[in-house]
Amino acid sequence: MNSSARQQAFAIRRDAAIFQRDRDSAASMDNGDEQLYPTRIASFTKGLPSNAIGEVDPNAYAAYLRALSSGLGSDFEAIPLGGTVKLQTPQSAYCFNMEGADSHALVSPPAPTFSSAQTAGEMVEDYWAALSRNVPFGQYGSDPTINQAVADLNKLSDYRGPKGTGQVTTGNIFPRPYAGRLERSIYLAVPMETGAVRRGDVHPGLPHFGGQRRLHD
């Protein structure tokens, strides 16, 4: 690369960085659950020690908050854990993106509150999806478990999953929207390795449709 191209590349990257720096940004908002529940039952506590009914140890949670506030590696190392499972990349929020907007400048809407009908609807959907995970898509119209799930989801007061005709049906249950259309899964044309797990079209536990197996998203 000649000096002119190098200077042009530098100018483009500099201008993009200045643009991202000067953009207006909104403050992130939480849903208030952490303050509402002293036992932290609606907060992320995975990996921390807890009592017999799953309530997090308050001292461990306080150490967790202290580490999040300081960002210091020593504070993260001091967080008590409830077993051998470690916190996964807990300091990733302190990294910076080198392309596009930085994660600190992006905001997401607060999650629905723990006691809301919307959260209840999401949980009902998750449990039905787990119960029916091995039902082939081609049998959705006649499978009794799928039909029970459809009936149950239609009773909910604030279920926000797709409803193509205003109702959940065996034809639109459990999909996720991509590019303006509804897909239940992704095809695996060839085997794929994710860490120590090898996934592919020969996996015996995956639902299948039209002679091909699919992996749920």
What pLDDT tens digit does each residue of the chain (217 aa) get?
A: 788 999 999 999 999 999 988 888 778 889 999 999 999 999 999 999 999 999 999 999 999 999 999 999 999 999 999 998 888 888 888 888 888 888 888 888 899 999 999 999 999 999 999 999 889 888 999 999 999 999 999 999 999 887 877 899 998 898 755 444 455 544 444 566 666 566 554 444 444 333 333 444 4
| Predicted structure pTM score | 0.69
Per domain, the residue ranges of the chain are 1-111, 117-216
Q: Which two tokens stand for residue 136?
A: 């082939």
DSSP code, position 50: B
- Four-residue CA torsion sign, 49, 51, 57, 61: positive
| Torsions phi, psi for 90 (to 5 deg) | -65, -20
Radius of gyration of the chain (CA): 23
Which residue's entry shows tokens 């926000």?
160
| CA dist., res. 76 & res. 111, Å (int) | 25
